[in-house]
Amino acid sequence: MHLLKTAALGGIGLVMIATMPAFAESQSKIAPTVAYSTMHRTHRVVIQVTQNDPAVMNMALNNGENLVKYYQDKGEKIEIEFVAYGAGLNMVRSDTSPVKERLAAISSSMKNVTFTGCGNTLATQSKQENKNITLLPETHLVPAGIARIVELEEQGWTYVRP
């Protein structure tokens, strides 16, 4: 028998509270469904890089590589997009990247990982430095890095900032 209690919350409304046997039974019914659904979906993660710090860049790359390995070992799919803007654009700049070899290696071995650079930041830095700045060949240019993150989150991507 499932018992439900109704409680008033100070003018907020009513809340249904299940007693323990009903809760335990419902959990045993839900768990297999949740496990099944995660096995067949693709995990999508956006990792923000906004600092010109090699340690932070390497931490972000470590996060991405660890996620890929973790989900591949489980037989699950994952997509990762790194979005670099502001001071973090240095990660994907062809002239300043302290991790350019690592980005090339990741791009060639992990086709489910994408690197994105902010067009607004690129234009600003080019103007400030009075030169034409280019991005690494593995990098895709987007109009605005922060807008790219918002769009990905609106599509259900998980946001990570190391």
Which residue did the predictor score with more confidence, 15 or 44?
44
Is 131 found in the same domain as 51?
A: yes
Is 29 found in the same domain as 73?
A: no
Is 10 found in the same domain as 78?
A: no
Predicted pLDDT of residue 36? 41
Is 54 found in the same domain as 35?
A: no
- φ and ψ of 82, to 5 deg: -90, 130
Is 50 found in the same domain as 30?
A: no
Among left, alpha and beta (phi > 0; psi -120 to 50; other), residue 38 is alpha
From 18, 15, 20, 23, select the one nearest 6 (Cα to Cα). 15
Is 133 found in the same domain as 57?
A: yes
Is 147 found in the same domain as 133?
A: yes
Report the mean per-residue pLDDT for the chain: 83
**Percent of residues, the chain, with pLDDT higher than 90:** 74
Predicted pLDDT of residue 39? 53
Per the structure block, which two tokens stand in for 33? 């469904």
- φ and ψ of 89, to 5 deg: -60, -25
The pTM is what? 0.76
Give the count of domains, the chain: 2
Across-strand partners of 84? 49, 117
Is 89 found in the same domain as 145?
A: yes
- Centre a 10 Å sphere on the Cβ of residue 65 and count the other Cβ atoms it contains: 17
Is 92 found in the same domain as 80?
A: yes
Give the CATH number of the domain where residue 48 resides: 3.40.1260.10
Is 63 found in the same domain as 141?
A: yes
Is 93 found in the same domain as 77?
A: yes
Predicted pLDDT of residue 120? 98
Is 51 found in the same domain as 28?
A: no
Which of the residue ranges 38-42, 100-104, 142-146 would you say has the lowest mean pLDDT?
Answer: 38-42
Note down the domain range covering 90.
Answer: 42-160
Predicted pLDDT of residue 41? 84
pLDDT in tens, 16-44: 333 334 434 444 444 444 444 455 689 99
Predicted pLDDT of residue 40? 64
pLDDT in tens, 45-55: 999 999 999 99
